[in-house]
A = this chain, B = another copy of it.
Amino acid sequence: MEKRVYNYGAGPSTLPLEVLEKAQRDLLAYPGCGHSVMEMSHRTKAYMEIHNRAKNAIKRLMNVPDGYEVLLLQGGASGQFSMVPMNLARRGDKVDYANTGYFAKLAIKEAKRWADPEFICTSEDKNFTYIPKITPDMLRPDTKYLHITGNKTIEGTAYHTLPDCGDVPLVADWSSSIMGQQIDVAKHALIYAGAQKNMGIAGLTVVIVKKDAVIDPADPMVPDIMNYNVQIAQDSLHHTPSGWAVYMAALMCEWIEAQGGVAAMEALNRKKSGMVYDVIDKSDLYINDIPKEDRSLVNVTAKLPSQELTDRFAKEAEAEGMINVKGHRSVGGLRISLYNGAPLENAEKIADFMQRFEKNL
């Protein structure tokens, strides 16, 4: 086999080798079925078994309470930017958002097409390097929900305590740290996440929704595929699901369970990112201004003094088999993503490289 690289991409990103090997082994024939998961009709018992394996593993791992439904959809978090307002608010209703950067701005942009959204707080004054505090009095009267971005893939920040929004339903985009840090589903009305960072591959979007938070019936303008009620009623099989991605989520979630569940993942992610933050904090070269309590456990960002040094860092890292270390095109710098699928070795490797890079300057 070709030597595998160390992949620090922000998603899609590294999957555990065991998970990939299992997928490879059964690719031609899912055990007992004589055909590939990719060839499987979604109206068969065999597919329903996979569908339920994924759903049930998510329920167990996230302690999903009664009254919530787990949906396995397409369209990514970007699709949810529209679905959330369309299903939790009526046209023109007030909905509140926390401005923590790039993806919060994308989310509110889509909400504006349907509702009356407003940023009720922002960390833009410090270039999104912290998590702005929220108290119930900051929310607008009659707002239908508060939307937060749980972990900021681009900026490298994360909520480690949920905001206090009183009785207002909390909606959170946990795309980049779902199952990578412990969160209390019961405190949310809705959670959504693309699967491609911590719990599977691109093409699957997981939504965990409190059923009675959804407006029923939906506004007649809401397309069936964007209607949570339709998806709940049809168990996410309103149309042909992204079967292979659902299968990969089942494998990945079962792997997470075998490692000890989300608590074990959080501990490992804390250790991995901790190694890299340690290098940064002890360094005179790398800069990360985020207060420790607001730092992401899975996306470590750092600035270097110049674009030239950033380019050189990336080039030299790649020469040692470490890829995708550059920050998002909107912010530059470095970004080291260490999701659930990345072993400790990935953190050790980059931490060591960072130290050597600084020494050799």
A window 1-51: CB within 8 A of B: 1-5, 7, 9-15, 17, 20-21, 23-24, 27-29, 31-36, 38-44
In the complex, the answer to whether B81 meets A244 with C-beta atoms within 8 Å is no
Shortest distance from the beta carbon of A267 to any chain B beta carbon, whole Å: 23
A113 near B223 with CB under 8 A, answer: yes
Give every chain B residue within 8 A of A9 (Cβ-Cβ).
Answer: 39-41, 44
Of A94-102, A235-243, A300-308, the segment with at least 4 beta carbons within 8 Å of chain B is: A235-243
Do B220 and A38 touch (CB < 8 A)? no
- Smallest CB separation, A111 vs chain B (Å): 10
- The stretch of A69-77, A254-262, A273-281, A286-294 in contact with B is A69-77
Question: Pick the contact of A240 from B15, B39, B76, B321 — CB < 8 Å?
Answer: B76
User: How long is the Cα–Cα vector from A126 to B220 in the complex, in angstroms?
Assistant: 31
Residues of chain B within 8 A of A182, CB atoms compared: none
Q: Contact at B203–A41, with CB atoms within 8 Å?
A: no
Question: Is B41 touching A15 in the complex (CB atoms < 8 A)?
Answer: no
Cβ of A201 under 8 Å from chain B: yes
Residue A184 CB within 8 A of the other chain: no
Using known A-B contacts A41-B13, A245-B242, determine if residue A223 contacts B81 with beta carbons closer than 8 Å. Answer: yes
Residues of B within 8 A of A220 (CB): 113
Residues of A in contact (CB 8 Å), total 72
Kindly state whether residue A222 has any CB partner on chain B within 8 Å.
yes
Whole-angstrom distance between the Cβ of A204 and the nearest chain B Cβ: 8
Interface flag for A82 (CB, 8 Å): yes
Distance in angstroms between the alpha carbons of A34 and B82 in the assembled complex: 36
Q: Which of B5, B34, B239 contacts A321 (CB 8 A)?
A: B34
CB-based contact B109/A224 at 8 Å? yes
Q: Is the beta-carbon distance between B28 and A14 smaller than 8 angstroms?
A: no
A156 on interface, CB distance cutoff 8 Å: no
**Restricting to A164-201, which residues have a CB under 8 Å from any CB of B?**
194, 196, 201
Q: Is B11 within 8 A of A38, CB to CB?
A: no
A79 within 8 A of B: yes
10 closest residue pairs by CB, A with B: A203-B242, A78-B239, A5-B34, A9-B41, A82-B223, A2-B29, A203-B203, A24-B27, A74-B74, A38-B201
A residues neighboring B (CB under 8 Å): 1-5, 7, 9-15, 17, 20-21, 23-24, 27-29, 31-36, 38-44, 74-79, 81-82, 109-110, 113-114, 194, 196, 201-203, 220-226, 238-245, 248, 321, 323-324, 329, 341
